[in-house]
Each structure stands twice: as structure tokens, then as C-alpha cells.
């Protein structure tokens, strides 16, 4: 639901203050400790961040996609690890349930997801099924009134905290591609489900990914999400939405980096004057600003189209592709503008440079986005 202008401005202003006063001051500490303090997670819950996208009847804020992207832009002004804490509840961990859940499934889980009491995870990727996500091998074998799950999921965000997983598993081994895959709502306390170690990553310390192992996990048939054999399409539609959210975050990080660059270039003196006076520095700032504006416009326009009920598979892929590549270039220029300081941990620029690298990979690599964009463009005839 689209917020009225006053409510939207109030929400954005509240978040801007929360990011500036509460999150930015502890960015370095969170990265150092690889953990977000529990009291900060509690404040995020109190602000309603876990329920941004959940319908109001289940206790969420029911934001439109455009409003969610605007919120994402604000959240992008700090370490992306903070967003990751509730990002699965807002996006890939909950949206299968929101879009395809039965009234009973929604009533059972959405209130806890909206409040943040239940953390959700999206379990699609496997050791042998990354970009080729229709190739999932995790098996779901029907046995009376349960499906028995066996297999391993990889790089699953928030798995350690998750109370509920959306798991894509092959329910029909005779169908090799996506048509043999079903989606399941799997509570984390079921016997046989175990979560592996937190992987050491290049960036976004404070956000955690794990393997999730299923060993004869007995999932009640009523936890099937959507129809049997529709799980791949559930996943694709969840990702269409998630890609817009990620694009919004990329725009926010780029805007943050630009602000940092302008502040630094205005302070830093070389050859007797602020480096901001030099046209070669200005050229980098101009390129970053132009690209950040273009990504913002593309993302918000695509989000508005989705809010109007249009199919945005192409637009979501284009937004994510452009915005994630854009923020990589902006971060690279930021290191260049900061010079030696850009390479030193104390300034935080090298941290963001590492943090943004994953945006070109998760929720579909840039190369997958290119494939989606090209296919859809050809389908649409141009
Ligand atoms: N919305 C609805 N349905 C979709 C869809 C979408 N966005 N994308 C594909 N489908 C449907 C297709 O219409 C097709 O349906 P039919 O069998 O009825 O014709 C079916 O799903 C299979 O689609 P397709 O043939 O395009 O599947 P492919 O195996 O060729 O691969 C890509 C599709 C590569 C686009 C997909 O595997 C993908 O997005 N991979 C990246 C996954 C990813 O983002 N992983 C990140 C991990 S999650 S953090």
C-alpha cells in the first residue's frame, strides 16, 4: 500500500535519524566483532523494520514497492550488514508466503515475521545449483502426510537465527528442471535440520551465511507453499521483487559514498588547495553522481510499475544489474578520491568497497540479470 506523503516523509525522516545516530557510529565495531548488538536488533524490531513489506492485517507496514525502495535507499547509507539482519524478513524469506501462502499459513507465521520474533531465510542455492537454480538436488519425497527433505543448501543468509525457512526442493525427480521443484515452509526446529558454521566473507561482517543440512526432515504436507511443482516459479517471483529491494540498497550506498567523497575532497588539501577544486576529482564525482541518479530513477520507476501490477521481471533485473554495477564503480572511485586514506581501514571506505562486491552476485549475478533482460526484451519484441 502506498503511504500518504506525510507518513512517508515521517518514516524516511525517522530512518534517516536512526541510521545517522544509531547505526553509522557503530559500523566499524559491528564489522570488527562480526556481530550486530542485540539491543540494536531490538530497536530495529521496535521500528517495524522486520515487517516493512508484510500486510497490515498481520502487523506489518505493508509498504508499496516504491516506498520499500525509498526505505532501502535510506538504509543503504550505512553498512549493508544492518539491512541484512531484517532483509530476509522483508524480502526473500517472507514474500513467497505473502504471495503464495494459504490464509492458514499466513495467519500462522506472518505476525511473528512482521514483529521480528520469527526470522526467515530463503533456501534455494545449493553446492551444485547456484545460477542454475532450477537444478536443485535437495529431495522432497512424499511419505503419507509429510514430505521428507534430504539435501544441503548453501550461503543461506540468517540461517542461524531463522525460525522459518522457505526451501525449494525437488518433489518430482523425473522432471529435471524447475517443473520438478516445490517450495516448502520449514520451521527450523524440525528434527534433522542443522545449520553449519558462519562462513568467513570478504565483506558485510555482521551479516551471516551458512550451509543448511536436511537429513530426513519430515515436513507436514500443509507446509507446501503454492502447488506441487510450482516452487521454481515461486522462487523466481520472490527474486523479481528482491532484486528491486537490492537495487534500492545499492543506490543508498552510492549516495552515502558520494557524500563521503564530497566531504573528504573539500577538506583534503594538496598543491595548496582542496582537492575538490581539481577537475579530475570533479570528473569522478560527476560520473558517480550521474550514475547514482540514473540507478535511482530506474529503480523507483520499476518499483512503481510493479505497484501498478505490471510484470517487472525485466525491469527488476535491469535495476539490480545497473545499480549493483554502478555502486561497484562508485566505490572504486571513492577509494581513488580518498587516495591512500581510501585503502586504510579507519576511513571506512575500503570496508564499503568490500561490502558492495556481493551486490553483483547475490539474488542473481550480473550475468544472470543480463540473460533475464535479453530474454525478456526478445519476448517483448524490443
Ligand atoms: N516469474 C515467473 N515465472 C518465471 C520467472 C519469473 N521471473 N522466470 C522464469 N519463470 C518460469 C518460466 O516461465 C518457465 O515456466 P514454464 O516452464 O511454464 O515455461 C520456468 O519458470 C522455467 O524458466 P526458465 O526456462 O527461464 O528457467 P532457466 O532454468 O532457463 O533459468 C534463470 C532461469 C537463469 C533466470 C534462473 O535460474 C535464475 O534466475 N537464476 C539465478 C538464481 C538466483 O538469483 N540465485 C540467487 C540465489 S537466491 S539469494
Q: Is the CB of 371 under 6 A from ligand 1?
A: yes
Average pLDDT over residues 123-149: 97
- Average pLDDT over the chain reads 97
- Burial 212-235, CB ≥16 within 10 A → b, else e: bbbeebebeeebbbbebbbbbbbb
Determine what percent of the chain is predicted with pLDDT higher than 90.
98
At 83, is the secondary structure helix, strand, or coil? Answer: helix
246, 365 contact by CB (below 8 A): no
For the annotated catalytic residues, the residue numbers are 363
pLDDT for res 243: 97
Give the integer Cα–Cα distance in Å for 87 and 264.
31
Enumerate the CATH 1.10.540.10 domain ranges in the chain, comma separated. Answer: 5-115
Ligand 1 atom at minimal distance to the Cα of residue 313: 7
Task: For 199-246, write each residue's pLDDT tens digit.
Answer: 999 999 999 999 999 999 999 999 999 999 999 999 999 999 999 999
Q: Is the CB of 238 under 6 A from ligand 1?
A: no
**Which CATH superfamily hosts domain 120-229?**
Butyryl-CoA Dehydrogenase, subunit A, domain 2 (2.40.110.10)
Ligand 1 pocket test, pick from 91, 96, 124, 133 with the greatest ligand atom count within 8 Å of Cβ, gives 133
- Indicate whether residue 88 lines ligand 1 (CB < 6 A): no
What is the rounded average pLDDT of the residues 128-154?
Answer: 97
Predicted local confidence at residue 56, as pLDDT: 96
- pLDDT band, residue 1 (cuts 50/70/90): confident
Residues forming CATH 1.20.140.10 domain(s) in the chain: 233-380
Sign of CA dihedral 290, 87, 38, 203: negative
Task: Provide the Cα torsion 241, 244, 249, 251; round to 10°.
Answer: 180
CATH fit for domain 5-115, picks 3.20.20.150, 1.10.540.10, 1.20.1250.20, 3.20.20.450: 1.10.540.10
What residue's CA is closest to ligand 1, atom 8? 236
| Whether pLDDT at 2 is above 80 | no
Q: How confident is the model at residue 7 (pLDDT cuts 50, 70, 90)?
A: confident
The residue whose CB lies within 8 Å of the most ligand 1 atoms, and thus the one to mutate among 87, 91, 233, is: 233
Residue 353, number of CB atoms within 10 A of its CB: 22
Asked if residue 4 has pLDDT above 90, the reply is no
Please state the rounded mean pLDDT for residues 102-118.
98
Q: Which homologous superfamily does the CATH classification assign to the domain defined by 233-380?
A: Butyryl-CoA Dehydrogenase, subunit A, domain 3 (1.20.140.10)
To the nearest whole percent, how much of the chain has pLDDT over 70? 100
Amino acid at each position: 500500500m502506498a503511504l500518504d506523503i506525510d507518513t512517508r516523509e515521517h518514516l524516511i525522516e525517522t530512518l534517516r535519524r536512526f541510521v545517522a545516530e544509531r547505526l553509522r557510529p557503530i559500523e566499524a565495531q559491528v564489522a570488527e566483532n562480526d556481530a550486530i548488538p542485540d539491543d540494536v536488533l531490538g530497536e530495529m524490531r521496535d521500528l517495524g523494520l522486520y515487517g516493512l513489506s508484510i500486510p497490515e492485517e498481520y502487523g506489518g507496514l505493508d509498504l508499496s514497492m516504491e516506498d520499500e525502495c525509498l526505505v532501502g535507499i535510506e538504509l543503504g547509507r550505512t553498512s549493508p550488514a544492518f539491512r541484512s539482519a531484517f532483509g530476509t524478513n522483508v524480502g526473500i524469506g517472507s514474500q513467497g508466503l505473502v504471495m503464495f501462502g494459504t490464509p492458514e499459513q499466513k495467519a500462522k507465521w506472518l505476525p511473528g515475521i512482521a514483529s521480528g520474533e520469527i526470522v526467515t531465510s530463503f533456501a534455494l542455492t545449493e553446492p551444485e545449483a547456484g545460477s542454475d537454480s532450477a537444478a536443485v538436488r535437495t529431495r522432497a519425497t512424499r511419505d503419507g502426510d509429510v514430505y521428507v527433505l534430504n539435501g544441503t543448501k548453501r550461503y543461506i543468509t540468517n540461517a542461524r537465527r531463522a525460525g522459518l525457512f522457505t526451501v525449494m526442493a525437488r518433489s518430482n525427480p523425473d522432471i529435471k528442471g524447475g517443473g520438478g521443484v516445490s517450495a516448502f515452509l520449514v520451521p527450523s526446529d524440525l528434527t534433522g535440520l542443522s545449520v553449519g558454521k558462519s562462513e568467513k566473507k570478504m565483506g558485510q561482517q555482521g551479516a551471516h551465511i551458512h550451509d543448511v543440512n536436511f537429513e530426513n526432515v519430515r515436513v507436514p504436507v500443509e507446509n507446501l507453499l503454492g502447488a506441487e511443482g510450482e516452487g521454481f516459479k515461486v522462487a523466481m517471483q520472490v527474486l523479481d521483487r528482491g532484486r528491486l529491494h537490492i537495487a534500492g540498497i545499492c543506490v543508498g550506498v552510492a549516495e552515502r559514498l558520494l557524500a563521503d567523497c564530497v566531504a573528504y575532497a573539500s577538506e583534503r588539501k594538496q598543491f595548496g588547495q582542496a582537492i575538490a577544486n581539481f577537475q579530475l576529482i570533479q570528473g569522478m564525482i560527476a560520473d558517480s553522481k550521474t550514475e547514482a541518479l540514473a540507478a535511482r530513477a530506474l529503480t523507483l520507476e520499476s518499483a512503481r510499475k510493479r505497484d501498478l501490477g505490471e510484470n517487472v521481471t525485466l525491469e527488476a533485473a535491469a535495476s539490480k544489474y545497473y545499480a549493483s554495477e554502478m555502486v561497484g564503480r562508485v566505490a572504486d572511485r571513492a577509494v581513488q578520491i580518498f587516495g591512500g586514506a581510501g585503502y586504510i581501514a579507519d576511513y571506512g571506505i575500503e570496508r564499503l568497497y568490500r561490502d558492495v562486491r556481493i551486490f553483483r552476485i547475490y539474488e542473481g549475478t550480473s550475468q544472470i540479470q543480463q540473460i533475464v533482460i535479453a530474454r525478456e526484451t526478445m519476448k517483448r519484441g524490443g
